[in-house]
Amino acid sequence: MRHPITADTRLAGRLTRLHRRYFKPDDPHGWADYHCVEEPEGTFWVHTHGLRRWRLPDLEFVGVAHDMVSYAQQMLFEIIADAKSRLPLAAESDIEGIFSAPLQSFRQMATLRWAPNDDPDHRESLRIVDWGHPVESGFPRRLFASHIAAWADLAEDPARKEALCRRALALFPGCFLEMGAGAEIVPGKADLTDLQHRANLQVYLSLAQALFDQDRPAEATAYLEEAIARCPGWAQTYRDYLVKKYRRKDAFMNFWRAADLKEICARRRPANTSGPLPRRKPKTATRKRKAPARRKTA
């Protein structure tokens, strides 16, 4: 799709790029163009020009909704910065990294495919799609849901957090995972990459928190039950951790103390997907070694 380079298609203005070139000459963002072109379906094609200077391919997202355009630009910025500091980007390969918030509890995953563009200006661009998906899959819903999840987790205003979470769920509601999924996670030092990518777990937790903060406990517990049903193994490990660590008696902790995980899974999981929860690993008692007795000296 050929298009003119105008102020209407550029996401970053000329002054912004000149500022970056002067103050951050090693930053690719100062030399690249970021374009947003409307597609026939009413969605947008967000893509770059000019990254070859940095031995990087141009990148694109297709099928971007109007309210996702700014997120698309943020994702391109972070993926490019990550690629410049590490290995070069290559077609038919996967990328993985922290593309949203520095302290997020999961990494984001995506796949790069050759973009099927006939236009010579975009013939060697790479299209970013969801991890393992074909180029025809278009807009990477899971990737953007995880990006919004990271922003929602940072939001201090509960209403804002709720709005972000609901938008992420509209993009990707998550899947129901196998019964043991997440059972091996160590809470407090959790890497939720797999559970976030497949079940959109962080969104359910953030949404429940936002609803608790707005004094809507019934809605909040419904979303916690949804998280349990989607990731039963994680829920069992997480509940044991919470009950052991915290003694407070707020609505959140009261829910976890009273939650019957088996009953929630039987009620909320799709037919023929429930089963036994994973067995807990038996705790092995460690005997303290006796310190050697000191010799008496005359």
How is 126-179 classified by DSSP, letter by letter? EEEEETT--GGG-S-HHHHHHHHHHHHHH--SHHHHHHHHHHHHHH----PPPT
- Report residue 19's pLDDT band, with 50, 70 and 90 as the boundaries: very low
pLDDT exceeds 70 at position 258: yes
Average pLDDT estimate for 99-118: 89
How is residue 91 written in tokens?
Answer: 């077609």
Long-range contacts of the stretch 151-154 (C-beta < 8 A, 24+):
151/100, 151/101, 152/202, 152/203, 152/206, 152/207, 152/210, 153/101, 153/104, 153/202, 153/206, 154/101
Q: Is there a single domain that holds both residue 120 and residue 192?
A: no
Q: What is the pLDDT of residue 112?
A: 95
Same structural domain, 169 and 258: yes
Is residue 152 included in any domain, yes or no? no
Residue 9 covered by a domain? no
CB contact at 8 A, 94 and 107: no
- Domain stops at, among 81, 106, 139: 139
Domain assignment present for 278: no
**φ/ψ (deg, to 5) at 34:** -115, 115
Q: Classify residue 296: in a domain, yes or no.
A: no
Q: Based on the domain organization, do 82 and 192 belong to the same domain? A: no
Query: Looking at the domain assignment, is residue 289 inside a domain?
Result: no
φ and ψ at 159, to 5 degrees?
-65, -40
Tracing tokens 């899947």 back to the chain, one arrives at 175
The reply to whether 67 and 168 lie within a common domain is no
What is the distance between the alpha carbons of residues 261 and 57, in angstroms, rounded to a whole number?
48
pLDDT tens-place string over residues 181-210: 999 988 877 789 999 999 999 999 999 999
> How many folded domains does the chain comprise?
2
Q: What pLDDT, on the 0 to 100 scale, is given for residue 12?
A: 52
Are 139 and 64 in contact, with CB atoms under 8 Å apart?
A: yes
162 and 50 assigned to the same domain:
no
293 falls within a domain: no
Q: How confident is the model at residue 21 (pLDDT cuts 50, 70, 90)?
A: low
Single out the residue in 106, 139, 172 at which a domain terminates.
Answer: 139
Report whether pLDDT(285) > 50.
no
What residue numbers bound the domain in which 128 lies? 14-139
∠ CA(261), CA(264), CA(266), 5° rounding? 110
100 and 20 in a common domain:
yes
**In 3-state terms, what secondary structure has residue 199?**
helix
Residues 84 and 191 in one domain: no
**How many beta carbons lie within 10 A of that of residue 282, not counting itself?**
6
Domain-located, residue 68: yes
Question: 109 and 196, same structural domain?
Answer: no
pLDDT for 34: 82
Q: Which of 13-27, 36-50, 208-222, 230-244 has the lowest mean pLDDT?
A: 13-27
Q: 165 and 103 in one domain?
A: no
Closest CA to 37 of 122, 133, 143: 122
Asked whether the predicted pLDDT for residue 229 surpasses 80, the reply is yes
Beta carbons of 110 and 128 less than 8 angstroms apart: yes
